[in-house]
Structure 1
Amino acid sequence: MNKSTFEEQLAQNGKLIYTNKGDSMMPLIKQDRDLLIIEPAIGRLKKYDVPMYKRDSGQYVLHRILKVREDDYVICGDNRWVKEYGIQDRHIIGVLTAVVRDGKEISVNSWKYKLYVHLWCDMFPIRAFIVHAVNKIKRIIRR
């Protein structure tokens, strides 16, 4: 089978549909459950957008924008507590436009999605504390 990059898929098809690996965007996106629809980003992204970007290391990441700065973005996964700085437009490959769960498409423009985003992101300090504490407890239990 011929493998192509995410960039090639976007260029050829105008969108990329795939399932993610990892838990950084839970509870919104769950590994091996949801299909993600990524489309090319047009212009500067906005707060709460979920870009797919490629780090300088070559790693692909799908995380949410928490702050738009003049030259870069402050980004963090919904299930993470550490913010990532320095992601620039040159790193952005595309942006999440919908999630497909159980055959139903959830648009990033739907009121339910927007409600989730505001509740989840506007309470970042509280959420970050809870996510960090839960992860610490899990590590202690695993020992």
Structure 2
Amino acid sequence: MSKSSFEEVLAEKGTLIYTNVGDSMYPLIKPRDLLVIQRPELPLKRLDIPLYKRDSGQYVLHRIIKVRKDDYLICGDNRVGVESGITDKHIIGVLTDIIRNGETISVYSTRNRIYAHFCCDFMPIKRIVFRFKHFFRKR
């Protein structure tokens, strides 16, 4: 049985469901969550969570914190480093739902939209919190 790329699955079926790996979007996305990715309607909007492929070939799922004329500024909810240079050509799909313990959670629910604004609108505060966390973990 051959493995299909994310792009092939989305092109063929329109929807991709896969298991989360990593912690960059924690606490929104937790280990072993199933992620529902749909074909994107471009251009994407601020707070959307695209699945994109870096030029290195690495797949990443992070949140758009700013839409610029030629690219997107993107950051994981559990990160403070912002990635630029991501364009529509990098975008493969967009996260619409999370399946956790059999329950489907929409990333567009009111609760998750408020959380998304918190992650993006308070980035300077988020950076300070991360520095404190890092400082106290080192001790």
For normalisation by structure 1, the TM-score amounts to 0.91
In the alignment, which residue of structure 2 is the partner of 1:85? 84
Query: Is residue 2:134 matched to residue 1:135?
Result: yes
Structure-to-structure mapping, 1:2-81, within 5 angstroms: 2-32=2-32, 34-81=33-80
Amino acid aligned to 2:88: D
- Alignment root-mean-square deviation, CA: 1.3
Q: Which has the higher mean CA deviation after the structures are superposed, 59-68 or 119-128?
A: 119-128
Amino acid aligned to 2:62: H
CA distance in 1, matches of 2:29, 2:128: 20
Distance 1:136 1:86, change over 3 A: farther
Q: Which has the higher mean CA deviation after the structures are superposed, 90-99 or 107-116?
A: 107-116
Report the identity percentage: 56
Structure-to-structure mapping, 1:82-121, within 5 angstroms: 82-121=81-120
Query: What stretches of structure 2 of length at least 5 have no aligned partner?
Result: none
Encode CA deviations 1:80-133: one digit per residue, 9 max, x unaligned.
011001001100000001111121111122111112112222111111221243
Query: What stretches of structure 1 of length at least 5 have no aligned partner?
Result: none
Task: Tell me, yes or no, if the aligned pair for 1:81 and 1:132 is still in contact at 8 Å.
Answer: no
Distance 1:98 1:137, change over 3 A: same
Q: Helix, strand or coil: the match of 1:86?
A: strand
Task: Tell me, yes or no, if the aligned pair for 1:81 and 1:129 is still in contact at 8 Å.
Answer: no
Aligned residue pairs, count: 139
Amino acid aligned to 1:17: I
For normalisation by structure 2, the TM-score amounts to 0.93
Task: Tell me, yes or no, if the aligned pair for 1:80 and 1:132 is still in contact at 8 Å.
Answer: no
Q: Helix, strand or coil: the match of 1:8?
A: helix
Q: Which has the higher mean CA deviation after the structures are superposed, 107-116 or 129-138?
A: 129-138
